[in-house]
Structures are given as C-alpha cells and as structure tokens.
A and B are shown apart, each in its own frame.
Chain A
Amino acid sequence: MAQVIGQAIDRIDGRAKVTGAAAYAADNRAERMAFGSIVTATIACGHVTSIDANAARRMPGVLLVMTHGNAPKQAPFQAKADDRHARPKPQLASDKVEYFGQPVALVVAETAETARAAASAIVVTYEKAEGAFVLESASGAAYNPGKGPTGAPSDSKLGDFDKAFADASVKIDAIYKTPYQAHAMMEPHASLASWQDGKLTVTSSLQLVESAHKSIADTLKLEPDKVEVISEYVGGGFGGKLPVFGDAILAALAARELNRPVRVALTRQQMFHVTTHRPASIQRVRLGAERDGTLSAIAHQSLAQSARADEFAEPIVFSTRSLYAAPNRMTSQRIAALDLPVADSMRAPGEAIGLLAVEQAMDELAVRLDMDPLELRLRNEPKEDPEKKVPFSTRALVPCLQEGARRFGWDKRQARPGQVRDGNWLLGMGVAAAIRGNFLREAEARVTMESERHAVVEMDMTDIGTGSYTVFAQIAAELLDLPVENIKVKLGHSSYPDTPGSGGSFGASSCGAALHDACTKLKAKLAKGEGAQGLSVTGSVKPGDDYKRYSQYAYGAHFAEVGIEQTTGEVRLRRMLGVFAAGRILNPKTAHSQLIGGMIWGLGSALHEDAVLDPRLGAFVTQDLVHYHVPVHADVPQVEAVLLDEFDAHANVLGSKGVGELGICGAGAAVANAVYNACGARVRDYPITLDKVLPALTRRQG
C-alpha cells in the first residue's frame, strides 16, 4: 500500500480555484432568478413603528417587499438547543428590534440594481428603547453561564488559590482587554433558493451543512426530505458561517412567494451586524511564583459580551486549566448580556483571546523574575493535566519551544528592552505557547466504487479552504490502494452522509476517521470477492472514552520579531516562526497553509483588528474592510510554520489532530511580548496601536 496520507500533494481543487471555475454560492444563477436586497435596522433596541415601502413598490421591476407585516409565519427562535446552529432562524418575525443591523425588510426585484435602489428607498421608523452596549459598564450584570461548549463547568478551583497567591514571592496581577473582532472572510454570505414540486433547494455558503439543513427545514416547517442544502465551495468561514443567517431564510421565503428562484447576498457592510462576531473580553490574570520561577498559583477570570438576543459564552479560560503546572488554581467564566449583534465562535473561540492575556502575563512574570520567558515555561511543564488529573494523550509544548528557539535564534534575544536597533527602529523578540483543544465528533462517510479503479467519496462535510477535498482523496487513495486522481470527492450536499461539518478543528479528523472506516469495510468486502463495480459502503465514527481518559490538545510555540519606529510608534512584524505538534499531519502542504494563516490572524489580533463600537448607537463603526483592519500583504513578511512528527493514538484512528485553529493560539501574545522586548511598552489593551506604544517611547527618550 503506497503511502499517500501525509504527503504534501497539491490541492485537488486547486485548478478549479485558480481558473475561476470553482462556483461559490453567489456564483450560481438560475433561470428567471430574481435578486433580493435586505434592509437592516438603524437602531439597536426597540420596535419598528412603520415601514413606508410605497416608493420602493412603485419602482419598475420590484417584485416583492417583505416586512414583519407580511412575512410568512415561521417556527419560533429557541434560546437553548443542543446544536445552536441547527435552531430555527425566523426572519422578519415581529416588529421587535434586538440589535443594530437586524433585517427589517427584504426587497426582491428583477435586477440587483433595482433591488438595491428599492431597498434604499424604504423608510423605516422606530420607537427606540434604552439599551446596554458597553461591556465595562455591564460587569455588575455579569452572570455565570454554567458551562462551556464541551460541557465543562464555567468555574474551576484547585487547592487554595487566595492563600498561595498571597504567599507567593513574585506576583503578577493584570487586566487585559480584547476588542470585538469580525471574521471578515472574503466571501460575503449569500444564498440562492429555488422551489420545485414542493422541494426547496438552497445553495449557500456554510460550514455546517447538516445543521443548516435542519435550521432551514425547521424554520420553514418543512419535512427534512423536502429541503436540500448545497455548499460545494465556501469562501472562508472561520466560524462566521456556522449559523444560518437571513440571506438563506429570506431567499427561501421569497422564492416560495414568487414561485421563482431568488438570490440574496449580504453586502460587506451588512456582514458586520447581520452576522456574528467575536465578543470583546476583559480578563484578569494572576500568577504567583517562587523565586526560581515555579508557579504556585494561577488564576484566570474572563468577562465577555453575549447578545441579549442569543446567549453565547466565549470559552476563554478553559485551556488555562491544562497549560501550566501549579498546585493552586482558579478559573471563572462570566458573560454580560448586551443589546448588540450576536456573538459566536470565531477561529479558536476561547484560546485565541485567552492566550493573548495568559501568555502576556507569563512574559510579565518572566520580566519580574529576571528570567528568560522560554525558561519560565519549561520550568512549569506539568506531568499530567493539572486540573483533570489525567494523562496527556500527547504533549509536545517543550519540544516545540526548544526547536523553535533553535531555529529562530532565540539566544540572540536581549533580555532588557530597547537594546537592539536597526536605524530608527527598535527591535525585539517575543515567545508564546500555543494550546488548542482537540475534538472528535460523530460522522459518517460513504465510499462507492465507480469501477475497478475509481472511487467516489461522499459526505455533507465542507471545504472552507481547509483542504478537506484533498485530504479525503488522500485517505481513500491510500486505503483503497488507488491513485489520488482516481478518487472523486463530493462534499457539501445535505443528501450525502451526515458529518459535523467544518468547525472547531474537528472536521478532518472526524470525517477522515469515518472515511477510514468506510474504506476499511469496503476493502474487506472486496477481499471476500464482492464485485467492485457499484459497491458502496457507509462508514462512521463516534467519540469514545479517550476524551475523558486523556487530556487532548494540540500544542505549539510562537516566536516573533518586531520593529518599532521610535518616533511614530509604528509596529511592524519582521519575522515569525511557529513550531507545532498536532498528531499525524494528513497533508503538510495544506496544514502549513492553515498554520501560517492562523499565525497571521494572531498578528492581526495583536496589531490591527478592532471592531470599534459606538457606545451611543450600539453599532460597530468599522463596517467595511477599510475601517476594520485585517493584515494585508505589506504587513506580512516571513512567516514560517514547522510541524513536528507526532501520532496521537488516543485522538482517532488516523492519529491526527486539528490544525485550523492552532496557528492563531498564542501568536498574538508572541507579537505583544516582542513589542515589550523592543521598546518596553506593555500594552494590555489589544490591539497594540501606535498611540498605546508612544508613551513608552516618549519615556525612553524623555
């Protein structure tokens, strides 16, 4: 059997993507297709009192104006459900406005131009209610959500933190803030809905096809077999396409009303409010240590925004429970309900911003101890999971730190800030650890022999840029002993076998393990002499006990070098290296891309990204890609990711762990720590913009 899994092959969908042949949701057209344009609320809280659509209705080519006054009745929203992304998402259900940017009307017209003009001609009047918008002011109303996404309790305690912290020789007690952030994937949310013989087909841009299928069917009160959801190519997700939004539901409703296909796409501006975001957070980290750097006490407490319209608890503190050894510990997770758009998962929910705090706090402790921050981390390596008290399935934080230090030239780092110059630039280096929970979800996969030498793989899994198409082809090719070119991978149709979809870095492992099962069973049948032609087997995977018996995480270490212009405070990344261990790597090429992508997201979270809230309106001021800053080419010099060999026998049959989120975890903290090392500016309020760096520069020169 030729080894195909683990080979750095080119993406099998690469040609389609570089030629423009890959069809994303809004690239699809249909005969007699009409165009929908959404009108959104311009208040954050209150009621619609009237909608004057007369001018819009009079425009030639306008086919339909839908508001809460005439929208078809849909299933009600559910506050709680096992799968939050499979809940009904009723649109235009009442006159109530729960957040700025909530859809209040839909216009459908013969052309996109007319739909847009008519939407802008609709006049909505409101009765405004008082809202709460500011997280800092809401701490009194903060509450304990009870548990995190994996069912672990929101609070944890071990030993006597208060006493140990009081007794500690060296202490850090600091508050860190992270801002609202937007997924800002390149492809705006869009859906094309059409009905034929009572069956609805929605082609949309989704991460979770199965959840979306249930959500859409339930919202419209349809039997599941009367709905097909298709998402073959997805222009980025990062968590922002986990839920179903108004584009899909409104397109489906309008298409039924008009008896013709309707396409609805969100504008870039609408995405910032209609869809979800990463909540802002305020975090307190306390570390207590002996003089030799041994941690005796760790506390991590978080407060994050949740929308009053739909609770979401960003799991900020959970990985802190497994990261470093210390006998006395406490963590707590609190959220505050604000009248803002809905917060939800964004790439590495929890770790992405939790590590911005904890890993900067470790750097602060190292400074206070006068110790190399890398050495401090090595010194606090736990032998087992410090809170769960179970073994690690694998844990390669130390090798990642050591290999990274060697490759990066960490020994050239100067301990004191402001020692290294390049012309007008002060240079500094920073390090931070990466940790990201590993998950396995229930999944199914079908493999069918089209001929003696050709197989088709089918799953309702998606490829959101992660490389799903390619790694599944590799798995099937290796197990069936066929060339990769002979494997056709079909994803993103709800009629294919159920998978958990793309989210939480569990996609490749869960779906890959199900496919492994299908291929193994199919091979057994072939070995028994069953004819190949048309032979079809569905395989599956279910998480076992290993998730309780072992502490399962992927790990890594980030190294960053920044330059700071000493008169302006401008911060520029110079180079960045991440060394990671994430089980067996299914395809080093696509894994590497995900990891450097995550690292650059970390760079963005450290220096650029900030969805600025207008506290008077409860709206984000930064509503486009000019004002919401994501890293661009000029911000990204050399960024390199290195993968260490690993196989996690407790993760799944493939030995693999997710890599889609690992790269961002800790990356921003490495940049922040490099900023301190360069110039002595300790910025605890992300992002680290020049106005926050300048005071330290002024002091230096003062």
Chain B
Amino acid sequence: MGTISIYIGRLYKDFKGGILVLPSRTIAFFFCLLLLLIPLITTEPYILRVLILSSIFAIFAASWDLLSGYTGQMNFGHALFFGVAAYTSALLNLHVGLPPWLTIPLGALAAVLAGLIVGVPCLRLRGPYLALATLAFPLILTGIIFVIPGITGGELGISGIDPLSGSRLTDYYIAVILMLGLGFVMWKITASKTGLIFHAIREDEVAVRASGINTTRYKLLAFCLSGLFAGVAGGMYVHFMRIAGPSTLELMLSFQAIIWVIFGGIATIYGPIAGVFILYPFMEFLRIIPEIRMLVFATLVVLILLFMPEGLTTWVRDKIEKECPRCKLRNIATRKSCRVCRADLD
C-alpha cells in the first residue's frame, strides 16, 4: 500500500511539475483528456464523424507543418501524399483483400515513396519555384488516374472499400489515438536534433551546409517523414469514407492544409492540430447559415491572420506565458522570476 502511495505521489509530482507548470501544456492535456472522454458525454454519430475527420485532417495538416513549417520547403501540393496513400490503400483492400490495419501502413509507405519521387527533383528549387513544382505533382497524378480508369476508377473513384472498423465508436478511438500518438511523435521529431537541423535549414541553408551538415539528406528526410504521416491520414480517410476519388488529390485539399496550419500557428505541430479542431467543426456549425458559410469562414481566417499573424496558438501562448531571457525556458505570464534559474522575467 505504501509503495502505491509513493508511486501515486511521484506521478502527481511529475504531473504538477511537467504539465500543470505551464498553461499551454495544461490546455493540451485537458484537450487530449476531453477527446478521450467525449464518447462518455455523447455518442451522436454526426459529432463523432466530425471529430474523426478532424483527427484525420489534423494529422494531415501537422505533416505539412513538419515539412513546410520546419524546413521551409514550401509544398503547395501536399494532397499528393494523401491521394497516393488513399489510392494505394483502396486498391490493396479491394483487389488484394488486405485489411485496413495493413493497407493504411502500406499506403503510408507508398506516400513515402512519393515523397522521394517529389523530393529528389525538387531539391534544387527554392521559394516560389519549389511551390509551383510541388503544385504540379498532384495534377500529374490526377491525369494518370484519368488515363487508367480500369484500375483507378477514373472520375468515379474506387468505392466498396472496407470500413475502418465495424463501429463508429471504434473508428473514433482509432482516429483520435492515432492523431494524438502521431502528433506526439511529430512534435518529438521537431524537438530533437533532427528538428533543430530542419529549423536551421529554413533559417539559413548555406550556414547549415557550411557547418558540415548534408542538407540534401535532411530535406529528403523531411519530404519522406511528411509523406509518411500524410499517408497515414490518407489511408485512414479512405477507409472511413469508403471511397478513393480524384478529390483526394484536389488543390483545395492542399490549400486547406496550409490554411489550417497558418491559422493554428506555423512550425509548432500542435498549432495545425488546434487549427483543424477549431476550423473544421466551425465550418460544420456554419451549416446553419449555408448562404454565407464560406464568407464567414474566410472572414474569421483573415481576422485571425490580421491580428494574430503567427497563428492562434502562438498568440495565445505568448499571452499566457513568458520566455526566460537567460535560460530560454517558458514560464507562466504571472511569474516575476524564472521557475528554474530565478532570473527576472520583466
């Protein structure tokens, strides 16, 4: 009994020191907790559907942030990864009979391959040239899909795909847990040495190369990692929607990912997740005023960008937290001195 109390005490201490110490971490913790507990409040299929799709698109948006937000490799055709994985998963499921738990990772691997195929020719390009080149790839794939309708279903897409699971509740937990898990993995990657190099490439690639780092390898790695996570989202989407069509490669989808990331906060990973979980349900809510739905949505996005140019989460974080000028650790905004080095925060 005593041992259990010690462990509980330690756990609470870690929780208090690691999570409750910062408001942003507390918000993130309660957001995760709320997502996991929502089915206890409601099992309304429509609400669960909106949250499942939000989870899938959150992975997709965060994967764009990993590539473009962190390394600065501006990808305007991110739907390519989503679509490649969607079609791969659909074809493997329909023609080979593989179950979703196999087709989703295989689809993600196909997206990694797509990342390599896009990454290699694009490595020499920068800025708007890179953006335009990446924009072309989903269009090329869409063309290929229309050329071989016997395999891809052409304009109609591929239907009759197995569902993610048999029940909406299971679908929900698969999507949410995968989103939280993959979001955490992406966040850890960006916080690692690799993430630091990604950051550095965006800021000054020449300086990074002068430091003896093979930037080509790291940029390719970013393309592949981004493709992997976007691919998981594409595979999940296709098994949830049960159709893989040309819409999975549409420019609109690529642009949506960028809007979600810019809205939530670029180069943060949690920003895109917040962006999707605010904007996607908000768009659903706006169904009550269908005539001006897009107008209200666009106005909100413009206002946020006008008053919070670095994104919503970054703005909120800067309001509730302060960075220590000496040790660079973050503290709650109400503190006068740093929680670690005691340096003056004002």
Do A and B truly interact? Answer: no
